[in-house]
Structure 1
Amino acid sequence: MHVFDGLTDEATSAAMQARLAKNPNGEKKIWRQEQRKAKMIGDKIWEAKMTSNISTVLHRQGQWSRAHQSLNNALALLDDEFADDTLVLEARKNILTNLGTCASECAQSKHRQRRVSQEHEWRKRAEGYFQDALDVSRKSGDQESVADALGNVGTVYMIREQYSEAMTYFQKALAIYQKLGNRKSMAIGFNNMGCAYIKQENFDDAKKFLGKALSLCKKEEFMDLVPKVLANLGEIAKTQGEVDTARMYWENALYFFDGFGQEAKARSIRKQLASLEAV
């Protein structure tokens, strides 16, 4: 039964303050308190959302396996009893998307560790989660959710190094975003296209799409997307031997990732910056 309609202002504010203070344990404590409240009143949907929020904090900390387990716990709460409930479809789609993201991160981690069989296993999981999210989105009839899911399937193809297939999904997603006029999603779409062009070593088109993404982010103040675009521009600059330019992009990206408490992303950028010292 779903009876709890939202977080209290106090809990929302406290969670945000904990995040801004870079206190992930404090943030998780708040979500767990809300999780217990939902469980006490028998609200499985809200309990699932709070469980998912806990996984989001774990994900920001780079604890992808724990985040993955937390998300599976959340998904298990949304049983068939609520299969056609609009709120459940939305929650299920979000959880499946986050599961796919966690699985993708795990696959990339195993790739860096050269654990080929485990990398393959996580890739398959990511593909399955994102495909399930696409199916749920189509069932709900929400075109923006469909576009999000298409983009996520494209991301799986990127991990599998099938860049032409990834581009096809990214183009389909971007076309929907442009039709809907969702400018933030358009910025995400432009960034995804830029990533695909980087992998295809088409740096001119990559710069064009990343430039569109960065311009839109600055104009509309989508500051959470800015460091992702900057990181990609830094990759191009390094590949083209423009060390000082790469350093500028990555230092700016690091500033944002640190500010947003995205520890895993910040660690990755620090490694990239360290790699410039050997150039």
Structure 2
Amino acid sequence: MDNIIYKGEGERIDKFLVGHFGYSRNFFHHIIKRKGICINNKPIKKSYKLKNGDNISIEKLERFITGEVLEDFAYIDLEILKEEYDYLVIKKPKGVISHPGSIWDVSTPSVVGFLYQKYKKLPSIGNFIRAGLIHRLDKETSGPMIIAKTEKGLSHFKKLFKEKSESIGIQQKEEVPLKKFYTAECTTTPNGKSFLDQIELPHYIQEIVYPKVPNIRKPKEGITKILSKQNKGKNIILFIEILTGRTHQIRYHLSSKGLPILGDYLYGKKDDHKLNLECSRLEFLDTNNEYIVVDI
């Protein structure tokens, strides 16, 4: 429970809560109606006007979250690359998050927001904030994403991704009928040039990933497969397949070899470029036992 001592006079409780937490007035009306917010230990109405020194106590907000909150999702329109009864494949653009990180982010444009606006209710591995999602792409990475439309689709793809994750070694992972391919434009440092000169393609980078993000309890090994390369002026474009899906895996692995991705302010040089990393192809066995290839 959160406790806030109000300083001021005459402000409506719902208006104050919106300003303090940055969430919608309807959301707090929903909580007040269920007596989740008290003033001086007493339930109040949504029209209550605060007095200086009032003690505002708020129950843990997540207790009151329901699918109604999804009405606050920002509307965006995304391209549908393929649609079947059990699933669809959408194209996520750069700058759009896959799903909100918490209830406070639901008004940020996201893939889940698009899905809710178009389909309303989709199955979810976790809570409603991730409804329909099987996997994700980082905010600044564009590319295709598989979305589950039915429980059958959710179960099928959940099993496929789990098989990819739990298979042991490179050979077993490559046998799983699920493949994700990326293109990355990299700047070439002296170390990066030396690295590329010494390897034969395809080449596997099989090393621990240490992402620069909070709350990573135990860094894990990632496997990044460099398939081919193509010169682009002073830069180089790498064509890649990932055999694991660690956070920032491609960005970290390439940077560690002296090949930071253009526009990568975390693992490379901060500049005006956007992150030049794109998921360019998905291959997978679908619910109809067909092997599907989706290219961008």
TM over 0.5: no
The structure with the greater share of residues assigned to helix is: 1
- Larger RCO, structure (CA 8 Å, separation 6 or more): 2
TM-score by length of 1: 0.28
The structure with the greater share of residues assigned to strand is: 2
